[in-house]
Amino acid sequence: MQSIRNNAKYFTHLVGNQVKFTVPPCYPLWTEVTEEQPAWLRSIIDSYFDLQDDRSSDEYQIVCAAVDCLAVDRYRDYKLKAHNHLKAHGPNRPYDKLSTKDWQKCIDFFNGPAFVERSVKNKANRDKAKYFSVQGSKNFFAMRSDEWDPEIQKWPGVIESF
């Protein structure tokens, strides 16, 4: 067994490559990927973690959830890169070793009404924001208001908020 601690960046790279080479980026969400496609996920868990073959244990479920989260992130990044490639190079040049069949699925997905409608809504929402935020669902001012100190009746400074 290899230690994940010592090889964390290689493990992340491995999961990213497996996502890239086994799942085409034409599903709206990772949860819609069929069960057969992420079968490699279980084999990775079995080969890199020593969990005494007890798939019902809490430990195994935690590791599965963590690897699945990693796969979700890698799939989202892969889908974004494929979409940017389509916008930059057009439909005639498949993205990064995708088969013609999978590339056509991606084109249909990215040009489909659901994806286009969602893109337009998201762009409109980003344009409404006065301040750009990369902190997740809360903007800077919402985060700062959570930091109100009732004991001293004072807001944190701008520097402390960052």
Identity at 137, one-letter amino acid code: S
Residue 120 token pair? 């337009």
Q: What is the pLDDT of residue 159?
A: 66
Contacts of 95 (CB under 8 A, 6+ apart): 25, 81, 82, 85, 86, 103, 106
Q: Are 144 and 161 in contact (CB under 8 A)?
A: yes
Q: What is the pLDDT of residue 105?
A: 93
| Sites in the chain below the pLDDT cut of 70 | 1-7, 35-38, 45, 49-55, 131-141, 156-162
Terminus-to-terminus CA distance in the chain, angstroms?
Answer: 41
Q: What is the pLDDT of residue 1?
A: 46
Q: Are 25 and 79 in contact (CB under 8 A)?
A: yes
Q: What is the pLDDT of residue 118?
A: 92
Q: What is the pLDDT of residue 158?
A: 62
Contacts of 139 (CB under 8 A, 6+ apart): 129, 131, 133
Exposed/middle/buried for residue 75 (C-beta within 10 Å: 0-12, 13-18, 19+): buried
